A = this chain, B = another copy of it.
């Protein structure tokens, strides 16, 4: 596309141009027509957007996506091509005047109350309360859900990774290639940053959202160099003096003198890898970070183990050759069956640890040689990346090596080189690595972060709670699915230690809970569950964000939302946040609201005889 188009696109993209009124379920539009047709379109409706269960078997959720919701409202307008499409897809019996009506429809009469973006939130608390003409409020449903669901899920997942890793570890999002397509990848980058990640590998996300981007090289970079002859440029100028040196020569010298420290023979290290690292160091002398697990050292020991391993695989499969497993099926003579090879090493006689130990020596030897050569020219290397094997063991091995070399050569920063890790990491991997005292400084996390593997969707719903001042309740045989009727306000009550004690839903007509006064908090559906709370601080959770057709509350910047997440999480007791069996945080209703719910419930369920 041309630069002008690109500029327009970029602008649109930041404003989520993909988010437009047709990004919705068809039933919203058929309902809109039926409301219009029955003259109910201006009935005054109140909808709550909320979820029923925290994700990831956890007990908290981060609310995100508000800014995108507001931007959607700001641009809400059916274009003539939208109208044309709707006409073509809806029954021909539709009254033409409805389409005229749609053309002028905007959310100018809608009011939206919302929790601040980046806040910790809990089940049943309305994240958004959307009020206004029934037709308009209904038409917003799907898009608002789409914008809040994945954003909040992703921010929550990222916040959990951050808690698992601790605050001193750098976390980078590497998930673009495993996301739900291009935009899934962009959302993942944005909301993982909000949730507490430090950056992303996704360059476009960096450009659009001004998020730090990071990354070094892949295995293919290493394997594209076969021998030292592939190194066409070998020289680098000294950082201070500008004098040009042969970096290969320097690295070669260092490799000879440190091989013993690593426990490898120089002859066993890969020269293609050395060439690749030299060339990379010449390109990025001040940002030298190298992937070190491409080749094993080709030691007698390791190759012997590998051979023995291959033999063992063949032995294990011998019964297939000699057994009675020979038969012909559809022309394939199966002697023996060829089947998918799955991770045989899991059953092999070498443990992951043993293999892991062997797999970084060539890379470490070459990396240290190049880093020392760079040091000769006045440059500090950044560090290494590990992408396979036993990360705890290997990071300790590497850290110990770096420290020993730092002492041997009197280069204090050498012991503090950065160790990055990036192999299919999830929250549990990090917790397990913590237990094993890993020495990793930075995690690059992809698949498990962006797909939210442990729970790939947050189940936000959008329920009508009031229409024309009449409360509406959804009764369900599943108690957790019963909606809390009426226009409600929510408060977070804090204790003396600054921690959040409980969230309280009240009817909008009730008096606000008072600091240092006893507040009766009740379980919304279980009569026997109630507690008195004496709050030290009372925080109203909702603010008006949209009224009279415009934003009426400053939106936080990405950075402010990101800070809000950490600040909000700090007010939550640790037992609510822990990974294993966290304590549920309580969400209560006032006594007034409790009675209101149950009176309404009984109206829908007249008492008969008990069976």
Closest residue of chain B to A272, judged by CB? B472
**In the complex, what residues of B have CB within 8 A of residue A524's CB?**
341
CB distance from A388 to the nearest CB of B (A): 7
Q: Beyond A34-B280, A223-B474, A304-B610: 16 further Cβ-contacts under 8 Å?
A: A1-B12, A3-B80, A25-B177, A39-B233, A86-B203, A89-B206, A146-B185, A150-B179, A150-B180, A224-B467, A303-B605, A330-B499, A331-B535, A333-B532, A335-B531, A451-B451
Interface bits A158-187 vs B (CB < 8 Å: 1, else 0): 000000000000000010111111111111
Q: Is A105 an interface residue (CB 8 A)?
A: no
The docked-state distance in angstroms from the alpha carbon of A475 to that of B32 is 60
Most B C-beta atoms less than 10 A away, residue of A531, A584, A607: A531
23 residue pairs A–B, Cβ–Cβ below 8 Å: A1-B17, A5-B17, A18-B183, A22-B207, A25-B215, A29-B203, A38-B283, A40-B225, A40-B230, A138-B220, A179-B180, A180-B450, A219-B474, A226-B470, A303-B605, A320-B528, A330-B499, A332-B495, A334-B531, A338-B587, A344-B480, A359-B477, A451-B456
The docked-state distance in angstroms from the alpha carbon of A35 to that of B233 is 11
Report the stretch among A292-300, A426-434, A544-552 that lies at the interface: A292-300
Report the stretch among A254-262, A307-315, A367-375, A404-412 that lies at the interface: A307-315
**In the complex, what residues of B have CB within 8 A of residue A521's CB?**
332, 338
Partner of A91, one of B1, B145, B287, B496: B287
**In the complex, what residues of B have CB within 8 A of residue A149's CB?**
177-178
Partner of A232, one of B38, B179, B502: B38
CB distance from A473 to the nearest CB of B (A): 9
Partner of A142, one of B177, B332, B502: B177
The docked-state distance in angstroms from the alpha carbon of A79 to that of B523 is 57
Closest residue of chain B to A285, judged by CB? B93
Indicate if the CB atoms of B27 and A17 lie closer than 8 Å: no
**In the complex, what residues of B have CB within 8 A of residue A553's CB?**
none
**In the complex, what residues of B have CB within 8 A of residue A332's CB?**
495, 501-502, 521, 531-533, 586
Indicate if the CB atoms of B604 and A298 lie closer than 8 Å: yes
Most B C-beta atoms less than 10 A away, residue of A24, A30, A472, A573: A30
Closest residue of chain B to A336, judged by CB? B529
